[in-house]
Amino acid sequence: MASVLVVTEVSNGSIREASLELVSFARKVAESSGREVKSLVIGSGVEGVAGEFAGKGGGETLVVDTADAANYNVDVFKKAILAGVEAAGADIVLISNTPAGWDVAPRIAAALDCAFVSDCTNVEASGSSTTFTRRVFNGKLDAQLSVEGTAVATVQPGATEPFSGSSDGAATKLDADVSGARAKFVEVKQSESTGIDLTKADVVVSGGRGVGDPEKFTEVIQPLADALGGAMGASRPVVDAGWLPHAHQVGSSGQVVTPKLYVAAGISGAIQHLVGMKGSNYIVAINKDADAPIFEVADVGVVADLFEIVPALTEAASAAKG
Ligand SMILES: Cc1cc2nc3c(=O)[nH]c(=O)nc-3n(C[C@H](O)[C@H](O)[C@H](O)COP(=O)(O)OP(=O)(O)OC[C@H]3O[C@@H](n4cnc5c(N)ncnc54)[C@H](O)[C@@H]3O)c2cc1C
């Protein structure tokens, strides 16, 4: 029987929650296409976590446990995944859309000479056909791509709930030849601390591309964050443009925050941003575009110009403090 293979990701000795999200999709695909769910764990000293994962939805779980995989190395991981695909008899391979995932996944597809779909938000199967959904045009449209036969896909973390059931299955060691890596792991460097820890703030006021320029963050967004006793966040384009340091970025490639209050001003609400803030207790969104996807997760949505609303909120918050 063909299988759908979940390629897990290990971080600080644990399997990331995003891998259980892959399991949710894999189970849905397996149910509707008659495939089996299998998983692959790659790392060093990971047999224990692989065994747990096998019972938490991973099913039959192959383990490549080698010192060479103690840290992510594209050459090692590519060889391990290809060995896993072969051993599992997989024709659908699901990988999280993380920096490691988007590095290795296209290489797996190229080596298998099969279809590759990146950054999916949904995966469904019907018979031999698998349909992948990805957001396009800043989240305004969903594109669906149907693939017949073998496919490798990366899946956006946060696109579905992590699988919370149990499964039959055990971890089995896979002897994969991962020698001959051309890339060499040197070291992990922590970014310098900027003194900002968004994850600990009770209130986060974030600005997006709609804020327009770096000065407006100082003049408009930071004052509201200060008036509410909170911290200032940002979407990725703000950080990419160099308007604010990366420590301010909220989202899949930034911080995941769960404050009591999250204010999003001039942020469209792309899935990569939503993943980082949708767990907030109360969300206020301010956007000129009534169709902006951010309103789908907002408790209060204000369709207006942020330059009118944010200063008014700052004034009201300052007045309330006295
Ligand atoms: C692999 C990958 C990882 C990513 N990681 C992240 C991540 O960690 N975090 C993240 O945020 N993004 C991330 N992105 C980018 C993401 O896909 C979006 O491009 C990004 O979130 C859009 O940022 P934005 O909402 O600020 O900008 P835009 O999408 O350009 O939206 C700007 C919004 O401002 C509104 N606006 C403009 N002027 C005003 C005004 N005066 N008043 C009110 N509203 C106004 C507009 O209507 C619009 O909705 C990632 C993308 C990829 C591919």
Assign residue 33 the CATH number of its domain: 3.40.50.620
Q: Ligand 1, atom 41: nearest CA belongs to which residue?
A: 305
In a domain, 184, yes or no: no
**According to the model, what pLDDT value does residue 138 have?**
64
**According to the model, what pLDDT value does residue 233 have?**
97
Atom of ligand 1 nearest to the CA of 135: 17
Residue to mutate, 119, 156, 236, ligand 1, most ligand atoms under 8 Å from C-beta: 236
What's the structural domain count of the chain?
2
Helix segments in 34-129, DSSP class H = 47-53, 74-88, 99-112
Q: Are both 112 and 169 inside the same structural domain? A: yes
In a domain, 264, yes or no: yes
Domain endpoint, select from 173, 189, 206: 173
Q: Ligand 1, atom 31: nearest CA belongs to which residue?
A: 268
pLDDT tens digits along 253-311 = 888 898 999 999 999 999 889 989 998 999 999 999 999 999 999 999 999 999 999 99
**According to the model, what pLDDT value does residue 194 have?**
67
Q: Are both 14 and 68 inside the same structural domain? A: yes
Residues with CB under 6 A from ligand 1: 138, 208-210, 235-237, 249-254, 266-268, 270, 272-273, 276, 286-289, 292, 305-307
Q: Are both 245 and 202 inside the same structural domain? A: yes
**According to the model, what pLDDT value does residue 292 have?**
95
Distance 320 CA to ligand 1 centre (A): 31
E strands in the chain: 3-7, 10-11, 14-15, 36-43, 60-65, 90-96, 115-120, 122-126, 129-136, 141-148, 151-155, 171-173, 203-207, 231-234, 261-265, 282-287, 300-303
Distance 16 CA to ligand 1 centre (A): 25
**According to the model, what pLDDT value does residue 193 have?**
63
Domain endpoint, select from 135, 156, 173: 173
Domain that holds residue 299: 198-321
**Total-model pTM:** 0.77
Q: Are both 221 and 165 inside the same structural domain? A: no
Assign 61 to helix, strand or coil: strand
Atom of ligand 1 nearest to the CA of 294: 49
Q: Are both 16 and 129 inside the same structural domain? A: yes
* Regions of the chain short of the pLDDT cut 50: none
**According to the model, what pLDDT value does residue 139 have?**
66
Atom of ligand 1 nearest to the CA of 286: 43
Assign residue 204 the CATH number of its domain: 3.40.50.1220
Distance 30 CA to ligand 1 centre (A): 34
Domain endpoint, select from 173, 208, 239: 173
